[in-house]
């Protein structure tokens, strides 16, 4: 027996001689007799699997980019995209792909890489002739439409490319799409190529994508703030800010939006300065217009952020008569300018030419004569006010069938671009 075995044997003898206090046994027996028996519930295997899957969804879904910032710089694209996008690429936050796809007419399309986040995906590409032959000028080699993938159908937003001139051997550019799913590991680019023979070919090419390299969101705030307007309601739903883009979403149900259809009166201010808006779109869903407006990435450091409904279509009842017999030709209708340009009588009726701002619509127009009130028969725009480089008010011809001896125009109400100046202070916490 070696020395180690001897020491172990000695310790065993000591342990064997140890005894618990006599009262311990009775205390334990008494405690066990008073305890209720209880079965440990058995968790089915399927529930365990579901719990694990749910945990994965929560981690990857709510933290779209929890494992981000492991990309690299996409080379050759120094001056493409917004300032924020250029800085992100310079910091090596892109995802390189560098895959080449032969197209028709001896042209190759190279997908160099992507930069993506929860608001958009930017694809970097190069078009060139692998033999170094000059690219001839014709319509377009690359007309993107969308990107598809698992739980992904992202529409084309915008793009830009290098100047295209005769004798060029290479074209570089970027294309921006709606955001893609964080569960997509392969994406398909859909586009058309205009062929030199006058035809067009549709392409669908796939490339690998790593959702773990998507950039981390800066802010996601749900606002749910509603304002009452003259002819309905307007709601700011949310604002989402990522390193490449800021998106404001909302909805409105306004009867007269078709009269003056613009979202230009919505302003976003960061640190007290207006951020110029980019693209915007609306679509009708269950009688409610849903909208989203894109803005550039927010500045850093960000101290204050406000959303303002500065102007939107409004309505005002005026019940005003505009004289057609006085020397006065310029009239004020609830702060809106109206100019009577011409009044003429024809065998068919009376024609009145007026000029007004394009941001106002006069409703309920009738012609007052010496004997009657004649409703408007038809109207048509004569010009937009921009002819021959002149900045003038647009002109409209009003026709009143069967009317004679006109005295005045009667206007019931107007739709116009109204100042609402409703402001929301956006919380800066996530």
The pLDDT tens digits of the residues spanning 34-49 come to 544 444 444 455 455 4
Instruction: Indicate which CATH number applies to the domain containing 260.
Output: 2.60.40.1640
**Range in 127-141, 208-222, 299-313, 329-343 the model is least confident about:** 127-141
Which of 13-17, 21-25, 323-327, 384-388 has the highest mean predicted lDDT (pLDDT)?
Answer: 323-327
Instruction: Indicate which CATH number applies to the domain containing 327.
Output: 2.40.30
| Spatial separation of the C-alpha atoms in residues 143 and 138, rounded to whole Å | 13
Mean pLDDT value across residues 370-388: 77
The mean pLDDT of the chain is 83
Residues 93 and 195 in one domain: yes
The total number of structural domains that make up the chain = 3
Q: Which tens digit of pLDDT belongs to each residue from 305-329?
A: 999 999 999 999 999 999 998 888 8
At 11 the pLDDT is 52
Mean pLDDT value across residues 324-338: 90
Residues 109 and 206 in one domain: yes
Residues 201 and 311 in one domain: no
Residues 309 and 325 in one domain: no
Res. 69: pLDDT tops 80? no
Within 10 angstroms of residue 89's Cβ, the number of other Cβ atoms is 24
**Range in 39-43, 48-52, 222-226, 289-293 the model is least confident about:** 39-43
CA 11 to chain centre: 75
Residues 95 and 188 in one domain: yes
Residues 248 and 369 in one domain: no
| Spatial separation of the C-alpha atoms in residues 232 and 228, rounded to whole Å | 6
Mean pLDDT value across residues 357-364: 90
* Residue from 333, 293, 329, 304 nearest 316 by CA: 333
At 394 the pLDDT is 87
Give 202's Cβ-side CA count (13 Å radius).
4
Gyration radius of the chain's alpha carbons: 35
| Spatial separation of the C-alpha atoms in residues 363 and 349, rounded to whole Å | 20
Domain boundary among 179, 213, 247: 213
Which residue range is the domain that position 127 belongs to? 83-213
At 13 the pLDDT is 58
Residues 241 and 268 in one domain: yes
Residues 190 and 306 in one domain: no
Residues 273 and 379 in one domain: no
How confident is residue 286, by pLDDT bands cut at 50, 70 and 90?
confident
Give 214's Cβ-side CA count (13 Å radius).
28
At 299 the pLDDT is 92
Q: Which tens digit of pLDDT belongs to each residue from 112-158?
A: 999 999 999 999 999 887 776 666 655 578 899 999 999 999 999 99
Please check whether residue 4 lies inside any domain of the structure: no
Task: Record the pTM.
Answer: 0.76
Q: What is the 3-state secondary structure (H, E, C) of 232-262?
A: EEEEEEEEEECCCCEEEEEEEEECCCCCCCC
Give 22's Cβ-side CA count (13 Å radius).
0
Instruction: Indicate which CATH number applies to the domain containing 99.
Output: 2.60.40.3340
Q: Which tens digit of pLDDT belongs to each residue from 74-98?
A: 988 988 888 899 999 999 999 999 9
Return all residues near 195 (Cβ < 8 A) that are at least 6 apart.
Answer: 104, 105, 201
């Amino acid at each position: 027996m070696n020395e180690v075995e001897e020491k172990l044997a000695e310790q065993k003898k000591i342990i064997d001689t140890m005894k618990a206090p006599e009262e311990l046994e009775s205390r334990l027996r008494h405690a066990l007799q008073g305890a209720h028996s209880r079965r440990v519930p058995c968790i089915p295997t399927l529930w365990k699997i579901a719990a694990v899957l749910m945990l994965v969804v929560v981690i990857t879904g709510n933290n779209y980019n929890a494992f981000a910032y492991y990309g690299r710089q996409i080379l050759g694209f120094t001056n493409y995209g917004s300032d924020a996008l250029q800085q992100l690429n310079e910091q090596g936050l892109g995802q390189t792909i560098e895959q080449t796809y032969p197209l028709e007419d001896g042209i190759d399309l190279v997908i160099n890489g992507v930069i993506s986040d929860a608001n958009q995906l930017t694809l970097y590409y190069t078009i060139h002739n692998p033999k170094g032959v000059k690219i001839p000028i014709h319509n377009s080699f690359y007309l993107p439409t969308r990107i598809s993938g698992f739980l992904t159908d992202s529409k084309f937003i915008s793009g830009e490319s290098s100047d295209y001139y005769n004798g060029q051997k290479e074209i570089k550019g970027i294309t921006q799409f709606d955001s893609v799913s964080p569960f997509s590991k392969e994406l398909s680019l859909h586009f058309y190529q205009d062929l030199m023979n006058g035809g067009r070919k549709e392409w669908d090419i796939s490339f690998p994508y790593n959702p773990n390299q998507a950039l981390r969101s800066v802010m996601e705030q749900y606002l749910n703030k509603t304002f009452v307007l003259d002819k309905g309601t307007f709601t700011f739903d949310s604002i989402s800010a990522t390193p490449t883009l800021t998106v404001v979403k909302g909805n409105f149900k306004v009867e007269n939006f078709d009269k003056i259809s613009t979202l230009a009166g919505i302003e976003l201010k960061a640190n007290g300065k207006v951020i110029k808006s980019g693209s915007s779109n609306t679509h009708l869903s269950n009688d409610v217009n849903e909208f989203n407006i894109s803005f550039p990435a927010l500045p850093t450091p960000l101290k204050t952020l406000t959303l303002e409904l500065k102007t939107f279509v409004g309505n005002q009842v005026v019940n005003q008569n505009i004289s057609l017999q006085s020397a006065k030709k310029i009239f004020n209708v609830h702060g809106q300018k109206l100019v009577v340009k011409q009044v003429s009588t024809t065998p068919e009726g009376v024609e009145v030419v007026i000029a007004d701002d394009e941001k106002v619509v006069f409703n309920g127009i009738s012609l007052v004569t010496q004997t009657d009130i004649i409703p408007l028969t038809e109207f048509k725009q004569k010009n937009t006010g921009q002819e021959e480089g002149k900045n003038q008010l647009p002109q409209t011809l009003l026709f009143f069938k069967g009317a004679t001896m006109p005295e005045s125009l009667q206007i019931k109400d107007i739709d116009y671009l109204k100042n609402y100046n409703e402001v929301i202070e956006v919380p800066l916490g996530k």
